[in-house]
Amino acid sequence: MTKTLAFVLYPGITPLDLVGPLQVLSALAQIDTSFEVVVVGQDLTPQDTDTPLKLTPSHTFRQVTVPFALIVPGGTEPTFAAMADEPLLSWIRKAAQTAEVVGSVCTGSLILGAAGLLDGRQATTHWGFRDLLAKFGATPVAERWVQDGPVLTAAGVSAGIDMALHLVERLAGEQTARTVQLFIEYDPQPPLGGIDWQSADLDFFKPHARAMLESALADHPALLTRLTA
């Protein structure tokens, strides 16, 4: 039986949130044909991202109703607006009822939270917005990815690649995950070295985060109050 791995596309996402893990899981599907990878959206219209690149779904929500796994990418202001997108939230809630994996990358976890899927669970997201997870009943965790039951959340942007490799190992074993990593030559060696997390100034970032929330949710005061109170 084919296991469908569905990536959710909505306007304004950060492309790497989707494309990074999409490439990993597409490699899995090439190795193991019991998996298929799709990108689902409200319709097949090309969607804006937070770069000049547009992305187009391969399937609509109506065409994919019971995925084996779903993964929700994140972004900035458009993602906050998506927290109030009821057709999107409705599809996620329904798909999550039977999915064995309910995943997110970066602030995509806030959409899972808005859909009511994080209550009582550990979760992570981009460091600048991690505190918002508690507003949805989740326990924020500062990890590259977090597994809590069927829910698998990744931290910011590039963490989605790590999460996807973890998922490949879980679904198909260590050797397959190592093969996928080799296929895509994922061997991070940033020219400036690793991140100095002690230098991340959350207090400086908070006003910018609040401004994005206020802009995105101006027409949804109840949700805005929940996230900023």
193: which residues sit within 8 A by CB, 6+ positions away?
none
- The structural domains of the chain, with segments of one domain joined by +, span 3-228
Q: In angstroms, rounded to a whole number, what is the distance separating the alpha carbons of residues 195 and 136?
A: 28
Q: What is the pTM of this model?
A: 0.96
Q: In angstroms, rounded to a whole number, what is the distance separating the alpha carbons of residues 70 and 117?
A: 13
Q: Is the CB of residue 127 less than 8 Å from the CB of residue 79?
A: no
Give me the residues paired with residue 147 across strands. 152
Give me the residues paired with residue 3 across strands. 35
Measured at the alpha carbon of residue 155, what is the angle toward residues 4 and 188, in degrees to the nearest 5?
Answer: 90
**Confidence category of residue 198, pLDDT binned at 50, 70, 90:** confident
pLDDT per position as a tens digit, 81-103: 999 999 999 999 999 999 999 99
Specify whether domain 3-228 bears CATH 3.40.50.880.
yes
For residue 26, pLDDT over 90 is answered with: yes
Residue keyed to tokens 């609509």: 60
Active-site pick, 19, 106, 133, 180:
106
CA 21 to chain centre: 9
Q: Please indicate whether residue 106 is annotated as part of the active site.
A: yes
